[in-house]
């Protein structure tokens, strides 16, 4: 297979972890006779520094015209604590999601056997947990109108949703549930928010097409609690953009480290693969960042194009790395292995 992949290493640890993902893909290409062509482009703070804008036209065009996008991480603290910054790295990511129409972000959560002890949760709580979060990615408060009055004393964010936006991701989530344990939990705040009530209504309607899937509802405050009290109750979780952002980071604790979790963002035509962690600027250049999430993002990419066998080799390699404790310090505080060594192990295994 020939694939053209846009690579956006981004900020902080992005470049170092993405390098390991590329190494894994190269190795797969060699062994299984595929041609993966990578084209790198700028996005995030690094793009602001070099071009003044977080998503240069060129980057967007590249992403629109490749088979898939592989993203590192974006974000830089110099913008975070400056409420007056006019340009921000995150704007690049949000614009990219919107322009590529990546409406569904999918995050699978399942602890590794060898890492059960790395979680802050007790073994009996997490052992056997296995669920997927479907987060709507191009709507809600992320994209609604924002205001700040002239005096800078009053601000607003508008959260908006349409039936169409809800319907398309709901279908994806129900289809996924059909292939899994046939349970879908919709998370919202329908006792307070009008958008949540629309979500409930639309999801109920969509559910009529999937009579074999059991649908239930949880308020987001309760869901944030249930994820920790009893994560095994979940199969597919469906929720809006901001709730999905919060709950999926929270759910990462089940696996022991956010450094293990990849996600895929899907649109009608495009797909983007990334680790769910951020740019972790404190670790930049120190060879301590966990590359596994990025490597697994590459595996999701392979799966997406039907290269299941190849993806499974990566999963296997990652499992072995974990089993042999070739992992970074987030998983083993006294580990002598770094980003590079973990990446090497995985690509050598392939």
Total Cβ atoms within 10 A of residue 149: 9
Residue 245 a catalytic site member: yes
Interface residue with ligand IPM, options 157, 164, 194, 221 (CB under 6 A): 221
Residues within window 255-284 making contact with a copy of itself, judged by CB under 8 A = 258, 278
User: Which listed range, 10-18, 23-31, 50-58, 226-234, lies at the site for a copy of itself (CB under 8 A)?
Assistant: 226-234
Report, in Å, the least distance between residue 230 CB and a copy of itself. Answer: 8
Question: 80 a known binding residue?
Answer: no
Report, in Å, the least distance between residue 325 CB and ligand IPM. Answer: 29
CA distance 320 to 33: 23
Question: 245 a known binding residue?
Answer: yes
Question: 157 a known binding residue?
Answer: no
User: Which listed range, 3-11, 47-55, 96-104, 155-163, lies at the site for a copy of itself (CB under 8 A)?
Assistant: 155-163
- On whether the CB atoms of residues 266 and 104 are closer than 8 A, the answer is yes
Residue 249 a catalytic site member: yes
Number of residues counted as binding ligand IPM (CB under 6 A): 7
Residue 216 a catalytic site member: no
Question: 180 a known binding residue?
Answer: no
Catalytic residue (one of 95, 182, 214, 249): 249
Using rule CB under 6 A, residue 90 touches ligand IPM: yes
Residue 212 a catalytic site member: no
Q: How many CA atoms lie within 13 A of 177 on its CB side?
A: 27
Interface residue with ligand IPM, options 87, 148, 158, 192 (CB under 6 A): 192
Question: 76 a known binding residue?
Answer: no
> Tokens 């191009």 — which residue?
138
Residue 162's Cα: distance from chain center in Å?
23
Residue 221 a catalytic site member: yes
Catalytic residue (one of 221, 286, 309, 325): 221
Catalytic residue (one of 110, 175, 232, 245): 245
User: Which listed range, 18-26, 58-66, 101-109, 237-245, lies at the site for a copy of itself (CB under 8 A)?
Assistant: 237-245
CA distance 87 to 91: 7
Cα→Cα distances 126→6, 163, 231, 244, 255, Å = 36, 35, 7, 20, 8
Residues within window 224-283 making contact with ligand IPM, judged by CB under 6 A = 245
- On whether the CB atoms of residues 78 and 284 are closer than 8 A, the answer is no
Cα→Cα distances 160→97, 98, 140, 216, 246, Å = 17, 14, 5, 23, 18
Encode 214-281 in three state secondary structure.
EEEEEEHHHHHHHHHHCHHHCCEEEECHHHHHHHHHHHHHHHCCHHHCEEEEECCCCEEEEECCCCCH
Q: Is 70 helix (H, G, I), strand (E, B) or coil?
A: strand
β-pair type (35-40, 146-148): unpaired
Interface residue with a copy of itself, options 162, 209, 312, 348 (CB under 8 A): 162
Question: 135 a known binding residue?
Answer: yes
Cα→Cα distances 291→103, 297, 312, Å = 26, 10, 17
Q: How many CA atoms lie within 13 A of 243 on its CB side?
A: 27
**Among a copy of itself, ligand IPM, none, what does residue 250 contact (CB within 5–8 Å per kind)?**
a copy of itself
DSSP-assigned states of every residue in 201-232: HHHHHHHTT-TTSEEEEEEHHHHHHHHHH-GG
Q: Which string of x and - marks every residue 195-224 that binds a copy of itself (by CB under 8 A)?
A: x-xx-xx--x------------x-xxxx-x
Which segments are annotated as binding site for Mg(2+)?
221, 245, 249
User: Which amino acids are annotated as binding site, given as ranges?
Assistant: 97, 107, 135, 221, 245, 249
List contacts with a copy of itself (CB under 8 A).
75, 79-81, 83-84, 88-90, 94, 120-122, 125, 141-142, 144, 146-148, 152-164, 189-195, 197-198, 200-201, 204, 217, 219-222, 224-225, 227-230, 242-243, 245-250, 252-253, 258, 278
Tell me the catalytic residues. Answer: 142, 189, 221, 245, 249
């Amino acid at each position: 297979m020939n694939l053209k992949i846009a690579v956006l290493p981004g900020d902080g640890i992005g470049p170092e972890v993405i390098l390991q993902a590329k190494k894994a893909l190269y190795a797969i290409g060699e062994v299984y006779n595929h041609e993966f062509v990578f084209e790198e482009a700028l996005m995030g703070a690094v793009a602001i520094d070099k071009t003044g804008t977080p998503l240069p036209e060129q980057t967007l065009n590249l992403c629109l015209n490749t088979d898939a996008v592989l993203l590192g991480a974006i974000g830089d603290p110099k913008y975070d604590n400056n409420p007056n910054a006019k340009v921000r790295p995150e704007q690049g990511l949000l614009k990219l999601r919107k322009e590529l129409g990546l409406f569904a972000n999918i995050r699978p959560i399942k602890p590794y056997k060898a890492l059960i002890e790395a979680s802050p949760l007790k073994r009996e709580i997490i052992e056997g947990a296995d669920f997927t979060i479907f987060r709507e990615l191009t709507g809600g408060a992320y994209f609604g109108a924002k205001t700040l009055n002239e005096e800078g004393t009053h601000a607003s964010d508008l959260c908006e949703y349409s039936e169409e936006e809800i319907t398309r991701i709901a279908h994806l989530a129900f289809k996924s549930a059909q292939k899994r344990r046939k349970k879908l939990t919709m998370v919202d705040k329908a006792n307070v928010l009008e958008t949540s009530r629309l979500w409930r209504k639309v999801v109920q309607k969509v559910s009529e097409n999937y009579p074999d899937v059991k649908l239930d509802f949880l308020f987001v405050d309760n869901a944030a609690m249930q994820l920790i009290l009893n994560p095994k109750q979940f199969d597919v979780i469906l929720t809006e953009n901001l709730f999905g952002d919060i709950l999926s980071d929270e759910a990462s604790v089940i696996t022991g480290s956010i450094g293990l979790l990849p996600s895929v963002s899907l649109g009608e035509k495009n797909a983007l693969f990334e680790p769910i962690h951020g740019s972790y600027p404190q670790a930049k250049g120190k060879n301590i960042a966990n590359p596994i999430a990025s490597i697994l993002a590459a595996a999701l990419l392979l799966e997406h194009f039907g290269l299941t066998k190849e993806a499974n080799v990566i999963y296997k390699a990652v499992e072995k790395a974990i089993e042999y404790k070739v992992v970074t310090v987030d998983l083993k505080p006294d580990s002598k292995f770094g980003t590079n060594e973990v990446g090497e192990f995985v690509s050598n295994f392939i």
